[in-house]
Chain A
Amino acid sequence: MTARSSPEEPVLRVRNLRVAFPAPGGAVHPVDGVSFDLHRGRTLALVGESGCGKSLTSLSLLRLLPPPGRIEPGSEIRLDGVDVLALEGEALRAIRGRRIGMIFQDPMTSLNPVFRVGDQIAEGILAHFKIPKREARERAIALLREVGFPDPARRADAFPHQLSGGMRQRVMIAIALAAEPDILVADEPTTALDVTVQAQILEVLDRLRASRGMAVLLITHDLGIVAGRADRVAVMYAGQIVEEAPTAELFARPSHPYTQGLFASIPRLDGPVRRLNPIPGTVPSPHAWPSGCRFRPRCPRAFEKSVLEPPLFTVGPDHRMRCWLGEHAGEQ
């Protein structure tokens, strides 16, 4: 295990991240003041439904926002202390892939269909390391073995269409790992995959996190895959983090009404079958964030103070939530 700095020091520090998109009535902010840390060897899960801003958050880390999106001044992203938002050109390219790697939801659209997968991995290696082609090929085969292919030398010669969805996703992971990043951002890596394959991929990611001491940011809408696979969970709603806690703590004591609503609406395999309790209404659009607490229109526990925007309050060990109901929690 290679620990390159003390586990207490975050390898990535995000503070007050705000993303703006121009709109007729004035800019909208689909990511609106997000803060979190990533630590080596640990997984943070960023959980939320469509439109909460989680994907834009992850793209911001690599400065890959689709135009005309912009990261607003006042946002801070520090990689081992270095201000990522101040980097340009060569310096920025040096961190993309090499320090922060990323894998996406649909591996078929990320792989070049006319090149063999081994060559695509080798290409990734050569982009970051000046080594002879033969050595790049050897490293590519080693990576294929590391992501779980039993016959990596043979697989290296396959074209993407010859591989199943799960295999292609493993190739994507191998390409991301080729650059030996300190941080891996996985944006819905298993959503398009079958459930048994999903289990394999998540296991590969977890094993690599441990063996390489990587920090992993796992972005998903599925609370179920987070349990047992992330150290910490942050729940996003309407561009903000509304609750964050160590995983076991969040599952044992979900405190924000939105988080509680999510749990109540998820079908379960354990316990008796019960009628699902969906959250009434729908997720708001960034064009119309509700004033005050953004969950207020759908919240069964909204009260007078909800018309004001709540800050994060501490409600348990390393457990914070953005809700006025938590204001006096620490005083109990």
Chain B
Amino acid sequence: MRRAGATVIAWRVGILLAILAAWQFLTGIKAVSRTPGLYWIDPFFISRPSAILDRFAYLMSDKVRLPLWQMALSTVQSTIWGFLVGISTGFAAGLLLGRNDRLARIFDPFIIAFNSLPRIALVPLITMIFGFGLLAKVVLAWTIVFFIVFFNTFQGARSVDADLIHSARFLGASERQIMSTVIVPSALAWTFASLTPSISFALIGVVVGEFIGASPAAASAT
């Protein structure tokens, strides 16, 4: 991503402030109606920036059993684990199947079938097997991240330039050396491209897990 210039940052801050101000202002207007207490845009449903700030301060304080920052920490921790485990297994599997046609053909239907499963449907099963703790959330994040990294690495490993492999072979490379000096570096370019979406999806996996059951959960702090 490109670095933002001062003008760009100024515009971003300006737009953000405008949105927040409009939100605060609009949810404060009383509807012209005979019913008392009725708002034009009801803050009961979409809240207001000032109310959110109050609630945030309350959740961060020691008046609650588990402060918000501790719950957030747990979420971040699960996300990072899910991300790391997803990347390493996805990369290894992508490399293996990307360079082995027979294996790729055998596993293709299973991978497509498993990847089309809505992950949310797996949550009860994962909770039953892995409980309500960190592990369940990591597993859920893993089921998403794995496939993102897998498909990218798989494509990367398949599209390695054949002439680069030939050059290495003419320079005396063994099959193992071709793997480490040609295929892994070429495939990595594709794997890197999948890292940004992976971290978001790891977070989504963890939050979905927390919504449905696992604890402690930042998602429950609503």
Do chains A and B stick together as partners? no
Question: B: which residues have CB within 8 A of A?
Answer: none
Question: A: which residues have CB within 8 A of B?
Answer: none
